[in-house]
C-alpha cells in the first residue's frame, strides 16, 4: 500500500509528461509539415552562407 502511494503519482507524472510533450510539439507546429521534415534533413543549411561557405 505504501509503495502505491508513490508509484501511482510517479506513473501519472510520467504519463502527464508525455502528454504535455505531445501538446507542446503540436502547438509549436511540428506536425504542420510532415513530408517536408523528412526531406529537410538532406538539405545543407546555408543560413550562415556568408560566414561558413560550404564547398559543394
CB 8 within 8 A of CB 1: no
Q: Which residue has the cell 521534415?
A: 37
Distance CA 44, CA 16 (A): 36
Q: How many CB atoms lie within 10 A of CB 21?
A: 10
Task: Sketch the per residue contact string, 7 through 46, with other proteins: x for CB under 8 A, - otherwise.
Answer: -x--xx--xx-xx--xx--xx---xxxxxx--xx-xx--x
Least distance to other proteins, CB of residue 53, Å: 13
Interacting residue ranges for other proteins, rule: CB under 8 A: 1, 4, 8, 11-12, 15-16, 18-19, 22-23, 26-27, 31-36, 39-40, 42-43, 46
Amino acid at each position: 500500500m505504501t509503495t502505491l502511494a508513490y508509484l501511482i503519482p510517479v506513473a501519472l507524472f510520467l504519463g502527464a509528461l508525455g502528454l504535455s510533450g505531445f501538446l507542446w510539439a503540436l502547438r509549436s507546429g511540428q506536425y504542420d509539415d510532415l513530408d517536408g521534415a523528412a526531406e529537410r534533413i538532406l538539405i545543407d543549411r546555408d543560413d550562415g552562407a556568408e560566414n561558413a561557405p560550404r564547398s559543394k
